[in-house]
Homo-oligomer: A and B are copies of this chain.
Amino acid sequence: MHEKKGKKQEEPKQKLTSLEELGEFGLIDRLTTPFRTKNPTTVMGVGDDAAVIDTGTGTDGACPVHTVCLVSTDLLVEGIHFDRTYTPLKHLGYKAVVVNVSDIAAMNGIPQQITVSIAVSSWFSAEALEEIYAGIRLACEKYHIDLVGGDTSSSTSGLIISVTVIGTAPKEEIVYRSGAHPGDLICVTGDLGSAYIGLLLLEREKKVFQANPGMQPELTGFDYQIGRFLKPEARTDIRSLLQGIGVRPTSMIDISDGLASEVLHLCNQSDAGCRIYEEKIPIDPHTREIAMEFKIIPSVAALSGGEDYELLFTIPQSDYEKIRDVAGISIIGHMTVPAEGKFMITPDGKEVEITAQGWKAF
């Protein structure tokens, strides 16, 4: 060791950029833009629900089906993505798998394997970890996927779960976010906004409980909304449903951050505009009622709430007859040329510009 010499080093004057300032998407852009993909096996890198990897079994056409790999990863952080005061560990494990499987469904692929890495405080018991893994196992059974790897580690504070999912699909069946054309119909599966209302209900009861620990949470009658939030499902059924009726989406994305944010992704990546009709957005009637009690416009819960894990996709107008009477799929609007912008039409005919609220990671 030797002593520091001379005057104290000057602090750099450069202003640093806070993560909040950039936001999640801005940050990802800034971090990943300097990277160029270069391997021939990389078909699609950052920028869709999953990466597409071609394991390259020869381009000589000798193989009857050219299968590619899909890879997606998600991080769940305690205090940011989940609150352990009202999230059972088993549900947490289940949901950690589902949100990843949903990304493979959004590529029109078939989920196959997952890896799960977990960091926990050392005072966590093996039994508590087993609860998480019981939920992971339940999801693996439900979605016919194999756990093939992972890592467990101590953490200096909260619980962190990192899941990577691997899927497969014939190369020509992959659906990207970027394939929509002006005139395409915009469709959504299931209903939206219930997960967000479920979260609000849980947060309300948490506050009551904190103010008066002698009270027990009253959540009876809200099973649907709370179930949608705590134990969502991935729409892996949509792939075969659409194949059955002979429809191939032109673009697709899963709804994790709210309808508005996802519609904008499809528009931006397909270089298109859109018109969404507010009254066409599928919302459960009871969810609609509860939203009103919370003084929230139901469509706002659907547009900005997120965590529903339904699929948003576009199809050619010529497929209208095939899909119009399919239960559980709603046509909510259509794509336009980019110059027409991205707007929602209210029931009284007003045009409201669609802006990303999304979910803020920072």
Query: Which A residues fall within an 8 A CB radius of B?
Result: 1-4, 14, 16-22, 24, 27-28, 30-32, 34-35, 37-39, 41-42, 44-46, 50-51, 53, 55-58, 60, 62-69, 71-75, 77-81, 112-113, 115, 117-120, 122-130, 133, 137, 140, 144-158, 160, 162, 164, 166, 168, 205, 208-209, 212, 214-218, 361-362
Contacts and interface: CB of A to CB of B under 8 A. Distances in A.
A334 to B, nearest CB: 30
A309 B209 CA distance: 51
Contact of A58 (B27, B63, B75): B63
Given A34-B133, A58-B63, A124-B19, A117 B2 contact: no
Contacts of A34: 133, 137
Contacts of A46: 147-150
Given A51-B148, A361-B153, A42 B125 contact: no
Given A74-B117, A115-B71, A58 B53 contact: no
A267 to B, nearest CB: 22
Chain A interface, DSSP helix/strand/loop, else mixed: mixed
Contact of A19 (B62, B78, B129): B129
A126 B218 contact: no
22 contacts: A1-B205, A1-B215, A1-B216, A2-B215, A3-B214, A3-B216, A18-B125, A19-B122, A19-B124, A19-B126, A22-B126, A31-B133, A34-B137, A41-B113, A45-B113, A46-B147, A55-B168, A75-B152, A80-B155, A152-B361, A156-B158, A157-B158
List the number of copies, as a whole number.
Answer: 2
Contacts of A31: 129-130, 133, 152
Given A37-B148, A39-B145, A152-B361, A17 B73 contact: no
Given A57-B66, A71-B115, 6 more contacts: A1-B218, A17-B126, A35-B137, A75-B151, A162-B162, A164-B164
Nearest to A66: B57
Given A1-B215, A214-B4, A149 B30 contact: no
A214 B35 CA distance: 40
A67 to B, nearest CB: 5
Contacts of A79: 156
Contacts of A66: 57
A349 B6 CA distance: 57
Contacts of A74: 117, 151
Contacts of A126: 16-19, 21-22, 27, 30
B67 A55 contact: yes
A1 B217 contact: yes
